[in-house]
Amino acid sequence: MTLCSADAAGLPIFPGLVRYDEVFEQAELAERLGFDAFFVPEHHQMPDGYMPAPLTFLAALAARTKRAELGTGIMQLPLFHPLQIAEQGAVIDNLSRGRFILGAGLGLIQKEFDAFQIPLHEAASRFTESVEILKHAWAGETFSHQGRHYQFTDVTITPRPARKPRPPIWVGAMSEITLKRAGRIGDGWISDPLHNFEVMKAWGQIYRDAAVKAGNPRIEIALLRDTWVSESHAEVERVWWPHIQAYHLFYLRLGFFSSGRFNSQWEPWVKDVKSDAEWSFDRVAPHRLICGTPDDVVAELKRYEREIGCQYMILMLRHPTGPSHQETMKCIELLGTEVLPRCK
């Protein structure tokens, strides 16, 4: 849900174990109600419901939507050859008549890199080199490249993207080093959904300062947040929270919160969780999840806009375990009728 100056909104899509036709139905309803973008995540061999082929899915979604931007949020760029991404992205941008956004990050899971036979320690250098190649490729020029990971001569990507000068490249970042990288080479920063409000606020400033220092004219912040709107708080905890807790606990058992990728300086308690019961709604939800009644959600979205200065709010609704398609459609309806008109 893109708020702020962009006046847009994004709905991430987690098909996972659900049928794709349900996801298409949700996207079509959201576009009719005023959502302005849809974002598809990526993971491989994982039970978290993320798409293994986000660009393929966006191509199908391009045929079912007319106005909303279509983005990856995020794609693990080091796993792929950048010329392949350049060609596929250009095709999606033409299919959608200029609506494609590439949200890209490094990735972090060893087994995914092992499956693609890419050394994990090369993720950062491959990512930076790939972004440089994509910018040249989407400019429509014939170019050569002699880098650490990729070498080629006299390459021209066809078709050219429909969007001018090219599709934006948003960079995922979860540390001071990667935030500064996003400011230098990206057209925007796209966040994770797990860190809390105060972390987002601090990181937004680090990203913004780095972009200004680098002379980067494109500064956009897209915040990814788990979101649910309902008629009562009791319904939020009954219908939605069990699924949020399940996916948080998946990442807890994966070791994410103790791996150094999660900034536990702000919330040291996450490293000491011993039981599922300790990962409670009252402990996790404040300043991290955007949920409640329409009034609650409107107030929280406006707080993010006012204090962080974000251009996009990407609202994650459904996860692989639920809520159901019917409950998700009801939530989208409430967002579109009771929330979006008060936030744009």
Q: What is the pLDDT of residues 60-114, one digit of tens each?
A: 999 999 999 999 999 999 999 999 999 999 999 999 999 999 999 999 889 999 9
- Whether the full predicted model's pTM is greater than 0.85, yes or no, is yes
Percentages of the chain per state (helix, strand, coil), in multiples of 5:
50, 15, 35
Residues with Cβ < 8 Å from 328, sequence gap 6 or more? 26, 317, 318
State residue 49's pLDDT score. 66
State residue 259's pLDDT score. 77
Residue whose tokens read 């999606």: 92
Q: What is the pLDDT of residues 110-165, one digit of tens each?
A: 999 999 999 999 999 999 999 999 999 999 999 999 999 999 999 999 999 999 99
The model's confidence at residue 6, banded by pLDDT at 50, 70 and 90, is very low
Tell me the C-alpha distance between 131 and 80, whole Å: 12
Provide the Cα torsion 228, 231, 234, 238; round to 10°. Answer: -50
Residue 191: what are its φ and ψ, rounded to 5°?
-90, 175
The model's confidence at residue 13, banded by pLDDT at 50, 70 and 90, is low
Tell me the C-alpha distance between 186 and 69, whole Å: 18
Half-sphere exposure of 130 (CA within 13 A, CB side): 26
Residue whose tokens read 């880098």: 147
pLDDT of residue 52 exceeding 50? yes
Burial class (CB in 10 A: 0-12, 13-18, 19+), 229: buried
**Residue percentage of the chain with pLDDT more than 70:** 94
Q: Structural domains in the chain?
A: 4-238+289-343 (3.20.20.30)
Residues written for the chain: 344
Alpha-carbon torsion (44, 173, 104, 341), positive or negative: positive
Q: Which two tokens stand for residue 340?
A: 């979006």
Tell me the C-alpha distance between 291 and 93, whole Å: 33
Element (H, E) at 170: strand 169-172
pLDDT of residue 227 exceeding 80? yes
pLDDT of residue 221 exceeding 50? yes
Q: With contact defined as beta carbons under 8 Å apart, do 161 and 98 qualify?
A: yes
Q: With contact defined as beta carbons under 8 Å apart, do 104 and 172 qualify?
A: yes
C-alpha 47, offset from chain centre:
18
The model's confidence at residue 271, banded by pLDDT at 50, 70 and 90, is confident
The model's confidence at residue 264, banded by pLDDT at 50, 70 and 90, is confident
Report the range of poorest mean pLDDT among 11-20, 69-78, 239-248: 11-20
